[in-house]
Amino acid sequence: MTLFVNRLTHLDVSLWCPTRGLVGASWRVDVELDGELGEDGMLFDFGEVKPWIKSSIDAGVDHTLLVPARARGVTLHDCREGLCLRSDTPYPLELRAPRQALSLLPWPEITPERLADYLSAELMRRPPPRVSDIRLTLSEEAIDGAAYTYSHGLKRHAGNCQRIAHGHRSRLHVWQGGQRMPALEERWADWLADRYLVDEADIVEDDEPDFRDLLTSRYRAEQGQFFLRLPRHRCAVLPTPTTVEHIAAWLAEAITRESGRATRVQAFEGIDKGAIAEARP
């Protein structure tokens, strides 16, 4: 007998890609469980399936940076903050953070299929009674229109959003004059794609010539100290924390300044959540 639960939860992470660099991702999690029926006529109580799997994912890879430890150019070593990641492919990156902010995976590249198999195997280490197999599927949201991926960290967040490199794949909706503006949505989504969004207050200026083309951000949060250095052209600097509320307001103001027209922005943070902001000339 197989029990299934679709859209059980969502997974929001960033990953280090050998070709794209730092990439935000949001995946829907579906699950199937095989096993034998009990005397109650059930394999597993739905009310127990969802919180058990969700809590396992939340306590593990969710809101972490997924690191393909066998990718070309990737090096890892201990540091004062906990763990240091360096890479030179496809661009230079240095990240230092508490260990729980990174998920180290023994692969040359991260794929949702491989990650789903890994998570399924982790869950099967301690399966519920009568469950003989667990299969997770990770899939991107089907988006008809503009979407972009970004990474960020929120030092004041009480939960795992404080980790300096986690991310999302998000829709972007823009209205002017009561009408959706697909061309504006696509242009801004293209510009934002695969960028790191950084709070201006967290930037540390480097005087050394080798670092002039790089942007360094550093902060202390409840979970520890965080440090990130990557090329300036891969970053978008906001004058505020990079919460989705501020992202929506920043985009509305930027588009209004550029176009001279009142603008309403609906900025998503991953799947099915986000913020709406408006700006006027």
**Residue 187: its pLDDT value, please?**
97
Asked if pLDDT for residue 136 goes beyond 70, the answer is: yes
145: confidence class by pLDDT, cuts 50, 70, 90: very high
What is the average pLDDT across 206-222? 86
Q: Domain range spanning residue 268?
A: 2-279
116 has pLDDT over 80: yes
Confidence of residue 268 (pLDDT cuts 50, 70, 90): very high
Query: What pLDDT sits at residue 39?
Result: 80
pLDDT of residue 42: 82
105-109, 129-133, 237-241, 273-277: the lowest-pLDDT one: 129-133
Structural domain count of the chain:
1
Instruction: Give the pLDDT confidence score for residue 41 in this predicted structure.
Output: 85
Q: Whole-number mean pLDDT of the chain?
A: 95
pLDDT range class, residue 212, cuts 50, 70, 90: confident
Q: What is the pLDDT of residue 209?
A: 65
Q: What pLDDT is recorded for position 266?
A: 98
pLDDT class for 237, splitting at 50, 70, 90? very high
Give pLDDT tens digits for 45-77.
Answer: 878 888 999 999 999 999 999 999 999 999 999
> What whole-number distance in Å separates Cα of residue 274 and Cα of residue 171?
9
Sorting pLDDT into bands at 50, 70 and 90, what band is 211?
confident
pLDDT in tens, 81-109: 999 999 999 999 999 999 999 999 999 99
pLDDT at 45: 80
Whether 205 has a pLDDT exceeding 90, the answer reads: no
Beta bridge partners of 268: 274
CATH number at residue 22: 3.30.479.10
